[in-house]
Structure 1
Amino acid sequence: MIFACVNTKGGVGKTTTAVHLAVMLTRQGRTLLIDGDPQASAASWAAWRRESQYEPSPTTTCLAGKAILTEGKQLAKGFEHVVVDAGGRDSVGLRSALLLAQRAVIPIGASNLDAAAMTDLLEVVELARDYNPELDVRVLLTRVDPRTKDAAEMLEFLAEQQLIVLPTQVCERVAFRRAIGEGASVQELNRDQAAIAEMEAFFKEVMV
């Protein structure tokens, strides 16, 4: 399956979601991780992973703009799974990722700014569906602070948009930042059982 992790807003845990998804998919078969973000955060993570020698690793490449669709489509033929980490803004690259993908994963925070960005992103998603009508969209609440009501309010907003929201909520945790910085997943670092449980639950849900 081809996944695209997308949002027009940065800072929502998009790359964290993408690389964890790629690592978990790699355990099931050959996986390609396409870094389509100009910041190249996923590519940096892959480089740190090579230094740390964690295995197994997804094959990682950087593509930009329309190449995410054209070259990505050709590259995907050699892999069982593909994950695209698309840039955190509305761009040709993000739209190309939505045209390539079979399933879009939208990591989203729980602020008013996140809600505004989601409204913009949904317009882009609907345009993509004109050309990719089978595109399946799943929303993942990320960087959640369980001490506040923000997540509950965001869930109400998402329900109004008639979106499929994954049951798991990924909380703001130091473990995720540390894992990314070491080219690892939270499972591989094995220091935060709550973070591990959240990612493994997310994986089960997004694969259904």
Structure 2
Amino acid sequence: MRYAVVYLKGGVGKTTLATHLAAHFARSAPSLLIDADPQESSATWAAWRQEHEALPKPTTVRLRGKAVFDEGRSLAENYQNTVIDAGGHDGAGLRNALLAADRVVVPMGISGFDGAVFDDFMDLFNTAQDFNQGLEMRVVVNRINPQSSDRELREFLGERNVHVMERVVHERRVFQHAIGDGLTIEEYKPRNGSAIHEMGQLYREITEWK
């Protein structure tokens, strides 16, 4: 299965979600992580991860533009699961990620939410579906304050018939610390039980996506 973690906005946790998902898949079978973002944050995380010999590691490659589709789909044939991390802007990397994927995971927060940006993204997604007819999308409410409500965001997405995953992932500093060490929050110490529980439920929702 090929998953693209994308959106038209930075700071919503795309790389954190993509690296965690790729590492989760790598625990049970070989997985591929494609860094399609010029900032190369996922590839940097993967390089730091090499220092931890005992941890499962997704095979990580950097691809740009049309290579995300052409080379990415070819490489993905050798892996049970592939995760594509694209940049937070409209460009060749994001568009080709949509064409290469089977499923699109869209992290969105409530801070600075812009309905026009989402509508622009849906235009891109719908265009990609014209060429990639099996493409499906779900939103993850991500990086929100534990005291905040996501009700208005869910209502907005519901009006557009967008499927939103039940599990909300809250903003916690442990994610930044873990990513900076090439780890996931399940591997980072001291352990944060709430963050681990939330991610575990999100993994389950994604893997049970039918």
Q: Partners of 1:136 and 1:114 in 2: how far apart?
A: 22
Q: Partners of 1:54 and 1:19 in 2: how far apart?
A: 17
Partner of 1:188, secondary structure, is coil
Instruction: Look up the match of 1:199.
Output: 199
Displacement of 1:153 in angstroms is 1.1
Displacement of 1:116 in angstroms is 2.9
Instruction: Look up the match of 2:154.
Output: 155
Q: Tell me if 1:76 matches 2:65.
A: no
Q: Tell me if 1:180 matches 2:179.
A: yes
- RMSD between superposed Cα atoms in Å: 1.1
Structure 2: segments with no counterpart, 5+ residues: none
Structure 1: segments with no counterpart, 5+ residues: none
2:96 partner letter: S
Distance 1:22 1:114, change over 3 A: farther
1:184 partner letter: L
Displacement of 1:115 in angstroms is 3.0
Contact 1:52 1:182 in 2 (8 A): no
Partner of 2:186, secondary structure, is helix
TM-score for both structures, normalised by structure 1: 0.96
Tell me which protein shows more helix as a share of its residues.
1
Aligned pairs for 1:1-208 (under 5 A) are 1-149=1-149, 151-190=150-189, 191-208=191-208
Partner of 2:169, secondary structure, is strand
Count of residue pairs brought into register by the alignment: 207
Contact 1:9 1:114 in 2 (8 A): no
Contact 2:8 2:117 in 1 (8 A): yes
Q: Partners of 2:141 and 2:64 in 1: how far apart?
A: 26
Partner of 1:164, secondary structure, is coil
Partner of 2:164, secondary structure, is strand
Q: Partners of 2:84 and 2:62 in 1: how far apart?
A: 10
TM-score for both structures, normalised by structure 2: 0.95
| Residues 86-117 of structure 1: per-residue CA shift (max 9 Å, x gap) | 11101111010011100100000113534332
Seq. identity, %: 45
Displacement of 1:152 in angstroms is 1.3
